[in-house]
Every structure is written in structure tokens, then in C-alpha cells.
Amino acid sequence: MTRNEARKIAKTHTQTRYSNSVLLLILKLIDMTYRKDHDDVSRPIEASTSTLKKAAAVGDKQLRRIIDQLTTDGVLTELERTQAHCLPPEP
């Protein structure tokens, strides 16, 4: 699946279930998977919490709630958190 296909699916399916902040965060995560030589949505990404807060225009508590909700719903998988980063697990 390419980034554009993933963005289209996210926009179509999240608007009825999630708030606009959640959609913005999901789109940011999808965009972070894009590389010119290899466009793969399932690619592991690493993101700082400040980057994610800016993308969703939310504070610490709301970002934590959004990440918890997306993890519970199975949208985010294999998530590992530190104080300043959200990381994929180490292989």
C-alpha cells in the first residue's frame, strides 16, 4: 500500500469514528513512512512526542489519550514509548 492509498483510507474511515485531532495525527504518522526510494506504510517509524503534539495540535494529556485509544483500537501496533519518543520495538 502506498502513502496516498493509506491517506485516502484514513480520511474515509476515521472521520466518523475519531476527532479531527486524531485524523491529523494519523495522517502525520502516514506521512512519516514516506521515502522517495521506498514508499511503505508498514515501515517502522520513530517520532518525538513534540512532533506528534504539533501535528495533532494537542497537549501532553490529550496526545496520551489519543495514543492509548489508537493502540486499544489496533490502529497503532508494536508501539514503544519513552519519555520523549514513540518508537517501534527493537527487533
Q: What pLDDT, on the 0 to 100 scale, is given for residue 90?
A: 45
What is the pTM (predicted TM-score) of this model?
A: 0.73
CATH of the domain at 7: 1.10.10
Q: What is the pLDDT of residues 21-34, one digit of tens each?
A: 889 888 888 888 77
Q: What pLDDT, on the 0 to 100 scale, is given for residue 77?
A: 77
Q: What pLDDT, on the 0 to 100 scale, is given for residue 83?
A: 62
What is the rounded CA–CA span in Å between residue 49 and residue 13? 25
Count of domains for the chain:
1
Q: What pLDDT, on the 0 to 100 scale, is given for residue 41?
A: 64
Residues of the domain holding 31: 3-87
Q: How many CB atoms lie within 10 A of CB 60?
A: 10
- For the chain, list residues with pLDDT below 50: 88-91
